[in-house]
């Protein structure tokens, strides 16, 4: 599910042939999420120089706060959406943090993450802003997708696997967990090709996901991705992490639209888990833009 600012900024004036299929996909995801009634959404997102700067930029950062303002102060005017305060889940986030440490990752952590389009745009469409703030908690996991050097796609996949392992061994009161991955697909941010969309690249990514060939995504270098689909496509890391955290799943593509108003290829993909535990948990993941 795309998170480029323009999706929200220009939603009202977006051409119907582009907005309608996205609106239908987002509405479906929102309905399915409501039916699943998760206690928490583990959200793979990325900072856009709002939480961090080059004074110190973490590769991975776990959001351990007890609540999250979505969007950050001032983001409401730019993104044209109301600010809402979602709950965090410090107990689960703290467990994920410790579990990742035990598994050989060394993520940063923060109780004061600032969310711009990365989390705000998906949540705007999954939870309509005119409805009461949902009770679901958010555990954000940020990955550096913008300030090179970036963690490799394979490292991001390994992180997603480790997050799943953490969820599976959570010793606290069981949670129903949904997974959200948001970033990409093609777009160029602050670059000469700003405004371009490589729909062929985007459809190739979706094809690989649908055919269960995510391994091929992991072999792409940042230079290759950026040359074909812009620096914004480097956010595919969030998708890869979500896929890994899901474990076994059946991908269900809901929409793909090259949205010129948002200067981004926008996709929405649901991931239906293959229930191997018998518990009946169902997770939801989305791939998206910017």
127 within 8 A of 85, measured Cβ to Cβ: no
Our CB check for Fe ion shows the closer of 75 and 273 to be: 75
Q: Is 283 exposed, middle or buried (0-12, 13-18, 19+ CB in 10 A)?
A: buried
Q: Least distance in Å: CB of 217 to Fe ion?
A: 17
Q: Nearest Cα to 108, choosing from 132, 67, 142?
A: 142
> Residue 7 or residue 97: which is nearer to Fe ion going by CB?
7
Q: Report how far residue 116's alpha carbon sits from residue 69's, in angstroms, rounded to the nearest whole number.
A: 10
Whichever of 185 and 270 has its CB closer to Fe ion, that residue is 185
Residue 96 Cβ vs Fe ion, minimum distance, rounded to whole Å: 22
Q: For residues 169 and 99, is the Cβ–Cβ distance under 8 A? A: yes
Alpha-carbon distances of 273 from 42, 183, 251, 258, rounded to whole Å:
15, 21, 9, 27
Positions touching Fe ion (CB under 5 A) are: 290
| Minimum CB distance to Fe ion smaller for 87 or for 290 | 290
On the question of a cis peptide bond just before residue 196, with omega within 30 degrees of 0, the verdict is no
| Closest CB 252 distance from Fe ion, rounded Å | 23
To Fe ion, the closest distance from the beta carbon of 34 in angstroms equals 26
Query: What's the rounded Cα separation, in Å, for the pair 141 and 60?
Result: 7
Measured from the CB of residue 8, what is the shortest distance to Fe ion in angstroms?
A: 12
For Fe ion, the nearest residue by Cβ is 290
Closer by beta carbon to Fe ion, 237 or else 290: 290
């Amino acid at each position: 599910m795309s998170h480029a600012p323009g999706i929200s900024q220009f939603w009202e004036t977006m051409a119907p042939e582009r907005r309608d299929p996205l609106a239908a996909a987002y509405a479906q995801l929102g309905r399915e999420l409501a039916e699943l009634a998760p206690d928490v959404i583990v959200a793979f997102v990325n900072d856009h120089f709002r939480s961090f700067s080059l004074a110190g930029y973490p590769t991975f950062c776990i959001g351990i706060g007890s609540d999250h303002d979505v969007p950050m102060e001032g983001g409401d005017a730019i993104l044209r959406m109301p600010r809402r305060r979602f709950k965090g889940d410090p107990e689960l986030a703290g467990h994920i943090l410790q579990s990742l440490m035990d598994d050989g990752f060394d993520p940063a952590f923060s109780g004061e993450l600032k969310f711009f389009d990365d989390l705000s745009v998906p949540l705007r469409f999954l939870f309509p802003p005119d409805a009461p703030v949902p009770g679901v908690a958010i555990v954000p996991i940020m990955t550096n997708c913008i300030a090179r050097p970036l963690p490799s796609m394979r490292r991001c996949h390994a992180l997603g696997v480790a997050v799943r392992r953490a969820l599976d061994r959570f010793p606290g009161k069981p949670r129903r967990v949904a997974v959200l991955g948001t970033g990409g697909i093609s777009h160029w941010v602050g670059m000469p090709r700003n405004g371009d969309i490589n729909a062929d690249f985007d459809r190739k990514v979706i094809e690989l996901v649908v055919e269960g060939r995510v391994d091929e995504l992991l072999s792409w270098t940042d230079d290759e991705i950026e040359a074909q689909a812009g620096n914004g496509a480097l956010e595919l890391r969030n998708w890869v992490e979500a896929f890994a955290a899901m474990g076994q799943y059946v991908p269900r593509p809901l929409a793909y639209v090259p949205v010129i108003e948002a200067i981004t290829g926008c996709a929405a993909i649901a991931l239906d888990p293959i229930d191997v535990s018998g518990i009946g948990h169902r997770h939801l993941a989305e791939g998206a833009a910017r």
